[in-house]
Structure 1
């Protein structure tokens, strides 16, 4: 990206006066001007072709969802192109969210051949699709939760493998560039911290084993399908995502109205761990995973400071100016959600060891700051 430098006017500069006796002030200006000239030389040597080579085309499933919408906006703001991979039942929603008149950088793909064409022409693919899990789990719903993730992931993997079947393995330095034009070079596939099971005492990172409950099984199957991508051609990133905090979706979209009506409080005991991440940090993490070849394998999509649910509710009450005094008994949640109550009544303390190791910079490492930022948007 070219860097523009504004120089001081020569008429106001002490350097325009010949044979002037150097002073500490003029020497300081001389040093500053030298730095400016160096910076200008660097800027002029940055060609437009360098900028074009860093441009991405990204195909996204789940682009109309809470996280997907923000990711699309992030990519477009950075001058990348996006292909929204959608189903026929969601095409109208995609078209209303990303009208061609306002989003010329977005292509909406519905048919099988459109998915294939988009994926083959993409630099990277992001898989965010999946049915929401915060509902009553009947046997049929549990089947749909599983299949919604496995089917889409399998479809994406098949198209990626097909598009790279004739290509040669890419060197690591080309892992984000699609320089060969033979399909995407990176596949970022969402999974969830449910992989680890639940615990009030243990901590989990990317090296921890999987749990033995239903959500852990879903995550294992989900990741298993993603791992079928040809990793000799495609860099695979598996993001195990925690509870995403944002104004327009996720858990907070349901909690904030209750707090505003003075009916907010912790769910169940409040002692369960809450592994969270601010929406902006998650989008930044996905974006960095697309661009940075060092991001590979399993990465926990959580903030570095998980909290107990009672603390989250206390902080939320503080930032919206409402008390957190009305806890919802676990029995009431179980009556409403049945087995699905495990999503809110059980938790796990998940730490982002890999993101920390990679030097990822969080905008909101603490839940207090995350909630304050969200409250300003209300």
Structure 2
């Protein structure tokens, strides 16, 4: 009998790849989304679907009863628009309400899931410069750090029910979707270059390693608490963009000034583009996880070679 896994946010960039991977690995996957019909169509009927508006408790808790795991990836796109006060509140609420709903559902069912995996991000640490940062680092300053703290806390109550809980603090996830095509687009017009001079460190992970790490943690009963899902070798932004340009056969020469970025993006510039983080996956590697793509050149080669 196939063990059941419930995923919220299962139609997003990471969520859809994870759903396909889990199904291929032999799990019975239930995707909780706003549009159940879209789920059935996206995954060709290979997974079950449940409708949820993302804002509160609905009718899908029965799927959790007796399930192996709940993976909570739900949350509004952080980079989807300028951070107005209204949008910032939506970003925060979408994550906190999703985590609270998962925790409430787990509390209601008779047969608790064995594990809850709670999404988060390296934004938890704030701007930490070039020094290596592992999971022992306290939370930093800024809007994203605040969001991540509350996001992580939102499902914490499942631990009091005896459920193993894992927090995944993901870096910049690289694949054929997500943020990478947006980063590559200026190169098509010979306008590629690192933002703000490019001295800031960027912590990244290949999509394949992101998915493999989630499954590794799910299946490893020793895994508990927060884990950084980042490749072991962060790079400076200028190195990243130089490699990206080289792969695309285009120069990386146009460095957008910090002031222009701040004028265009506001608060997002400092927290998403100019922030410097050298986040290392200490706990993940200590458990024995091996990265298929530990360096950015290999990662970009694998992704862009598939175009």
Task: Please give the TM-score of this superposition, normalised by the length of structure 1.
Answer: 0.77
Matched residue, 2:275:
346
Whether 1:300 aligns to 2:228 is yes
2:77 maps to which of 132, 150, 168: 132
- 8 Å Cα contact 1:136-1:341 kept in structure 2: no
Residue 276 of structure 1 deviates from its aligned partner by: 0.4
Residue 309 of structure 1 deviates from its aligned partner by: 0.5
**What is the SS of the residue equivalent to 1:289?**
helix
Residue 208 of structure 1 deviates from its aligned partner by: 0.6
1:81 maps to which of 11, 14, 28: 28
> Take 1:215 and 1:255, find their aligned partners in 2: how far apart are those partners?
21
Aligned length: 301
- 8 Å Cα contact 1:301-1:352 kept in structure 2: yes
> Take 2:130 and 2:189, find their aligned partners in 1: how far apart are those partners?
33
- 8 Å Cα contact 1:266-1:309 kept in structure 2: yes
Matched residue, 1:109:
50
Matched residue, 2:207:
279
Residues 15-164 of structure 1 aligned to structure 2 (within 5 Å): 52=1, 55-87=2-34, 90-100=35-45, 103=46, 106-110=47-51, 114-134=59-79, 135-164=81-110
1:355 maps to which of 267, 279, 284: 284
**What is the SS of the residue equivalent to 2:150?**
helix
> Take 1:131 and 1:316, find their aligned partners in 2: how far apart are those partners?
27
Give deviations 1:289-315, integer Å, cap 9, x for gaps.
111101111100111000110010011
Task: Please give the TM-score of this superposition, normalised by the length of structure 2.
Answer: 0.94
Question: How large is the Cα RMSD of the aligned pairs?
Answer: 1.5
Structure 2 spans left out of the alignment, 5+ residues:
none
Higher RCO, Cα 8 Å, sep 6+: 2
Give deviations 1:118-162, integer Å, cap 9, x for gaps.
112421010111111123111111111110100011001110122
> Take 1:322 and 1:231, find their aligned partners in 2: how far apart are those partners?
54
**What is the SS of the residue equivalent to 1:228?**
helix
Structure 1 spans left out of the alignment, 5+ residues:
1-51, 165-181
